[in-house]
Amino acid sequence: MSVAIKANRLTPYLFLAPAGIILIIALLYPIGYMVYASFLDWSPSQRIGQAEFIGLRNYINLMSDEAFRESFWVTIRFAAVVVTLEMALGVGLALLLDRNIPGMAVLRTVFILPMMIAPIVVGLMWRYMYHPTVGIFNRTLKDMGLEGIPWLSDSTWSFIAVVIADVWQWTPFIFILALAAMQSLPRSALEAAEIDGASEWQKIILIKLPLMMPVLIVTLLLRLIDAFKVLEVILVLTNGGPGLSTEILALRIFRTAQEFQELGEAAAMSNVLLMLLMAITIGMFAYNRVQEARAARQRAIAEKGDD
Amino acid sequence: MLSYLKTTVCAAAGLAMAATSAIADPYADYSGETLVVNFPAHPHFDAVMKVLPEFTKETGINVEVDQLQYLKMRERQTLELTKNKGDYDLIAYVVFSKADYVYADQLENLARYFMNPKLADPNFDAEDLIDGYVANIGVAGGKKGYLPGPTGSLFGLPFGSETSILGYRKDIFEKHDLKVPETYDELLELACLIPELEPGMGGLASRAASGHHASHAFLLHLAPLGGRIFDDEWNPIVDNEAGVKAAEALKKIVNCGAEGSKTFGFAEAGASFLQGNSAMFLDSTVFAGQVNNPDKSKVVGKIGWAPHPVGVRAGSQTGGFGIGIPKNAPNKDAAFLLMQWLTSKKADKLIALAGGNPSRYSTHSDPEVNEKFPHMETFGEALKNADPDWRPIIPVWGKINADLGTTLSKIIVDDFPIQESLEGVSVRTRALMDEAGYYTWTQ
């Protein structure tokens, strides 16, 4: 290979190198910093260089910390419940609204409004709605002669309350992506199914959902990652209580750094959360690859059928 | 010759006058300087802002104030105090920051300023400062590290400090011929009697929300009922008889409280009282400024005040803010002059008249202040019981506080057994204290 050809091949990499280096530093430096901090006994009143190196002690402490363990399980439960509900509702709504009827454009815009509201505002809004005396829910229940619900002062109800608020805000995200995926499906496959006499339900189960699966998996992943990190809404709504019933990991990390002034321990918690999310992401990408291959095969079969 | 003599005498007189005025005016050397101070957004400091121009007028020293929400203030200070040269000359700090700042050697020891004859005002009258406040917010290194004692030093002065006080609805008490509670038995009895006498009204509005609020409310009852978080050897004793009684008291108060009281923080408990949904309110004196504000209160003119009821001992809350000079402050001497001026008798009264919290006994008994704010005299009496050991001010307190607060929330909301739950707090507290090295000399 001549020197000129070699140089030509290298040119794009040389152009990309500065941006690539900046990107790698910007991505990896903070993570490296966080990993390093997790091995320190570090309070904000010290510079990082003054902090004592304590090895794995922060991680060992986490394992014996009941509050951390409780927060960990609350996070898993919260993420599992909200993402399941949001996926079911979001995809369901997309299936329902994937048709050309008058006013649909306005309806779609209205559906995505909750996503546009700042999480702190969502928290405040729902806090007022859950208010025991003046909140809309309990006022309505009382007008109907029923008992009010202890939305935020009961461990079970407060968990339900934060789930409702999250589902209200983030179902539109699933809806909008599911709808986009649905509208980009090959019409020919659906028409062929119709000709073959497939019912609406069969078209959903056998054609639409399998073809949408790669998009839905990415959507699920994005939402799952976000559900593990939700903070502001819960901070405002319940502040993690009653007890620790709604204290998710992100809130525990915030408290550990902000209230307890233990930056090393907060960094260790963040790393645990990061590792958990990485494991989920890797698992889901692997699964997605399988699904994409299957969808590609189905598309190919569908397109072959067109011929 | 005569003219020479006249000139000489005039010159000498001029020099003498200049020298005298330099001695008479301790602020002269700093006139024209600008001090940067960091204050919280808080009713006391809003009052201070009204009085500050007086300082500049009197001294020629300008003051630039960076006023922040108090959690943000703490965050900013944490960054500022670790710098080699900071931006702030004077900071207000919340009481539990004392432990962190002094331990990290970030606050000036005030002894060398009060020893400096050019800076220290002989009429400052430090004995007039409220003892409990000074001990709580200013002293470190003494007994237990945060209480006065032979090894203690002064690192700050109380400024915006608070104690607990009982507010009650005079009209409700008169209507049912009720006696204002002086003891804990009376308080707890009334807390549950009032909802029976006035259906729909809570007895005592209290904080109970998970975490800091529940812990704070518990501590309000713990000291008067004879308890502490630690004994003198740092053994956690929160699960002893007094601790259990304090938790029972809190649970009873919340159960007899207004609807939704299990989620009340300070603001919600206050709002319940101001909206007329609760007959009593036991918390910080800072609240008093709002009760006669018709924009916020439906109970204007209906509130009476009484000292925090007594259990086996008198022990009301100490908390709020103090002011100190950062170690890395650019203008420390001038900052001390401002600090001294702000906490002087004159400024304390001006700030009180503007709606702030006085730090001096004399201000609480001042006729002009009492005429404008009649409750101030009762507060002055109550302050004699301000307990500086009401809560431990140690660096690990944040974590213990959170654990205690969430455990109490479980006791209140989910009926967790009190004794067992507090024993759990004790065990976890001991582990935290052990890790922090508190038992190094006793094991």
Distance from the A141 Cα atom to the nearest Cα atom in chain B, whole angstroms: 15
Lowest mean pLDDT among B223-227, B245-249, B397-401: B397-401
The 10 Å Cβ neighbour count of residue A51 is 17
A-chain residues near B104 (CB < 8 A) = 43, 45-46
Burial of B377 (0-12, 13-18, 19+ CB in 10 A): middle
Pairwise CB contact (< 8 Å): B413 & A154 = yes
In this prediction, residues B223-237 reach a mean pLDDT of 96
Q: How far is CA B207 from the centre of its chain?
A: 17
In this prediction, residues A2-20 reach a mean pLDDT of 82
Residue A243 is nearest to which of B71, B75, B210, comparing CB atoms? B210
pLDDT value of residue B7: 45
In chain B, pLDDT over 70 holds for what percent of residues? 95
Eight-class DSSP state of B298: S
Residue B403 is nearest to which of A67, A240, A242, comparing CB atoms? A67
pLDDT value of residue B21: 46
Mean of per-residue pLDDT scores for chain B: 92
pLDDT value of residue B10: 43
In this prediction, residues A134-146 reach a mean pLDDT of 93
* Whole-angstrom distance, CA of residue B214 vs CA of residue A240: 13
pTM for the full model?
0.87
Rounding to the nearest 10 degrees, give the CA dihedral for residues B198, B199, B204, B207: -160
> How is residue B10 written in tokens?
């005039």
* Whole-angstrom distance, CA of residue B433 vs CA of residue B283: 29
Burial of A18 (0-12, 13-18, 19+ CB in 10 A): exposed
Band (pLDDT 50/70/90 cuts) for residue A185 is confident
In this prediction, residues B122-139 reach a mean pLDDT of 95
Under 8 Å CB-to-CB from B424, ≥6 apart: which residues?
A: B407
A-chain residues near B262 (CB < 8 A) = 150, 153, 242
DSSP string, B37-104: EEEESSHHHHHHHHHHHHHHHHH--EEEEEEE-HHHHHHHHHHHHTSSS-S-SEEEEETTHHHHHHHT
pLDDT value of residue A11: 87
B411 close to B247: Cβ distance less than 8 angstroms: yes
Under 8 Å CB-to-CB from A133, ≥6 apart: which residues?
A: A139, A148, B259, B260, B277
CB contacts under 8 A, A 158-217 vs B, are: none
CB contacts under 8 A, B 162-221 vs A, are: 209-212
Question: Which one is predicted more confidently, B153 or A106?
Answer: B153
Under 8 Å CB-to-CB from B132, ≥6 apart: which residues?
A: B163, B318, B383, B385, B386, B387, B388
Determine if the peptide bond prior to A242 is cis (ω within 30°): yes
Query: Is the CB of B275 inside 8 Å of chain A's CB atoms?
Result: no
Band (pLDDT 50/70/90 cuts) for residue B133 is very high
In chain A, pLDDT over 70 holds for what percent of residues? 96
A187-246 confidence digits (pLDDT tens): 888 888 888 888 888 888 888 898 898 899 999 999 999 999 999 999 999 999 899 999
Nearest CA in chain B to A132: B260
> How is residue B114 written in tokens?
């009060």
Nearest CA in chain B to A154: B413
B183-220 confidence digits (pLDDT tens): 999 999 999 999 999 999 999 999 999 999 999 999 99
pLDDT value of residue A191: 85
* Whole-angstrom distance, CA of residue B366 vs CA of residue B362: 6
Pairwise CB contact (< 8 Å): A242 & B71 = no
Tally of CA atoms within 13 A in the half-sphere of B13 that contains its CB: 6
Task: Quote the ipTM score.
Answer: 0.81
* Whole-angstrom distance, CA of residue A115 vs CA of residue A226: 13
A-chain residues near B435 (CB < 8 A) = 61
Band (pLDDT 50/70/90 cuts) for residue A184 is confident
Pairwise CB contact (< 8 Å): B406 & A240 = yes
Nearest CA in chain B to A57: B435
Q: Is the dihedral of CA B19, B24, B27, B32 positive or negative?
A: negative
In three-state secondary structure terms, B382 is helix
pLDDT value of residue B15: 43
Band (pLDDT 50/70/90 cuts) for residue B27 is very high
Residue A153 is nearest to which of B103, B263, B428, comparing CB atoms? B263
Query: Is the CB of A298 inside 8 Å of chain B's CB atoms?
Result: no
* Whole-angstrom distance, CA of residue B155 vs CA of residue B136: 11
Report angle CA B148, B364, B316 to the nearest 5 degrees.
Answer: 50
pLDDT value of residue A303: 63
The 10 Å Cβ neighbour count of residue A13 is 9
Query: Is the CB of A45 inside 8 Å of chain B's CB atoms?
Result: yes
Band (pLDDT 50/70/90 cuts) for residue A284 is confident
B-chain residues near A44 (CB < 8 A) = 78-79, 82
Query: Is the CB of B82 inside 8 Å of chain A's CB atoms?
Result: yes
Strand partners, B21: none
Strands B34-40 and B90-94: parallel
A-chain residues near B277 (CB < 8 A) = 133
Band (pLDDT 50/70/90 cuts) for residue A305 is low
If we measure between CA atoms, which residue out of B374, B367, B378, B364 comes closest to residue B292?
Answer: B374
Band (pLDDT 50/70/90 cuts) for residue A302 is low
User: Is the pLDDT at A251 greater than 60, yes or no?
Assistant: yes
In this prediction, residues B276-294 reach a mean pLDDT of 91
